[in-house]
Amino acid sequence: MLDTPVDYDSLNAAGTIMGSGGVVVMDESTCMVDFARYFLDFAEKESCGKCVPCRLGTKQLLQILEGICAGDGRPGDIELLEELGRGIKAGSLCGLGQTAPNPALTTIRYFRDEYEAHIYEKRCPAGVCKSLISYYIDPELCVGCTLCLPSCSSGAISGEFKGVHVIDQSVCTKCGMCIIKCPPKVSAIEIISPKLELPKPVLEEVA
Ligand code: SF4
Ligand code: SF4
Ligand code: SF4
- Give pLDDT tens digits for 148-205: 999 999 999 999 999 999 999 999 999 999 999 999 999 999 998 875 554 555 445 5
CA of 196 to the centre of ligand 3 (A): 27
Residue 22 has pLDDT above 90, yes or no: no
Decide if 27-120 and 133-192 have a common fold. no
Average pLDDT over residues 23-44: 95
Closest Cα to atom 2 of ligand 1: 94
d(CA 193, CA 183): 22
| CATH class assigned to 27-120 | mainly alpha
- Give pLDDT tens digits for 112-145: 999 999 999 999 999 999 999 999 999 999 999 9
Which ligand minimizes its atom distance to the CA of 177? 2
pLDDT at 206: 43
> For the chain, what are the domain ranges?
27-120, 133-192
* Ligand 3 environment, Cβ below 6 A: 137, 142-148, 159, 165, 181-182, 186, 188-189
Residue 207 has pLDDT above 50, yes or no: no
pLDDT over 90 percentage in the chain: 83
pTM: 0.84
Q: Which of 89, 94, 102 to mutate to test the pocket of ligand 1 (most atoms within 8 A of CB)?
A: 94
Q: How many CA atoms lie within 13 A of 190 on its CB side?
A: 10
Residue 198: CB within 6 Å of ligand 1? no
Average pLDDT over residues 17-42: 92
Average pLDDT over residues 48-66: 97
CATH number, span 133-192: 3.30.70.20
Residue 23 has pLDDT above 50, yes or no: yes
pLDDT at 24: 87
Contacts of 172-177 with C-beta under 8 Å, sequence gap 24+, read: 172/134, 172/135, 174/130, 174/133, 174/134, 174/135, 176/135, 177/151, 177/152, 177/153
Closest Cα to atom 3 of ligand 3: 142
Closest Cα to atom 8 of ligand 1: 48
- The number of the ligand 3 atom at minimal distance from the alpha carbon of 141 is 3
Average pLDDT over residues 65-77: 97
pLDDT at 201: 54
